Amino acid sequence: MNETSEEGGAFRISIGLAFVGGYADASSYLLAQTFTGHLTGNCVLAAVSAASKDWHLTLDRLLAAIVFLSGILVSMILNRFAPVWLRPSSLAIAILIELLLVLSAFIFLNSTATHQLFIVCMCLPLGIQNGALHKTQGISVHSTYMTGMVTTLLQKSFDHFAPKVRPKEIGGLRF
């Protein structure tokens, strides 16, 4: 496989995972009033819920933040301690785990008793995904961090299509 097709595949994977992250975040917010991969949003909303004395929702939002962070830790542990022969497949394994957890989340969707299991099954895979996917084509990738990702992609695209021009020196002066 040549380098160009590998870069194209990595780019498509990045876009796909970002889509999954956005979809999971939106569906989780609509169904459980928590974000799956948005620490800032969950922490702010937890504070708002606490100020409103809605303790159940506060705990759900804090659970989402804690489980997301746990997913990052799980991903790092898998990557660090996986056998050498498995390391090249660590992203594929993370995606498989993510797929299984997201699909299992819908089993817990309609039951009040398992509402927290829905949150866990939606937040853990997004943390795993975020921890497993570090860089694509030299760009730092956080598929659950929309603002930073869009900003980075725009900056990199701008630099690619409009490279910096070095100032010309004429007689010791820069122009």
pLDDT tens-digit profile of 28-71? 888 888 888 777 788 888 999 999 999 999 999 899 889 888 88
**Whether residue 157 has pLDDT greater than 50:** yes
- Give CA angle at 126 (125, 130), nearest 5°: 115
* In the chain, where the domains are located: 12-148
Are 91 and 136 a contacting pair, CB within 8 Å?
A: no
**Whether residue 4 has pLDDT greater than 80:** no
Report the DSSP beta bridge partners of residue 174.
169
**Whether residue 143 has pLDDT greater than 70:** no
Quick one: which H or E segment has residue 111? none
- Residue 139: exposed, middle, or buried by beta-carbon count in 10 A (0-12, 13-18, 19+)? middle
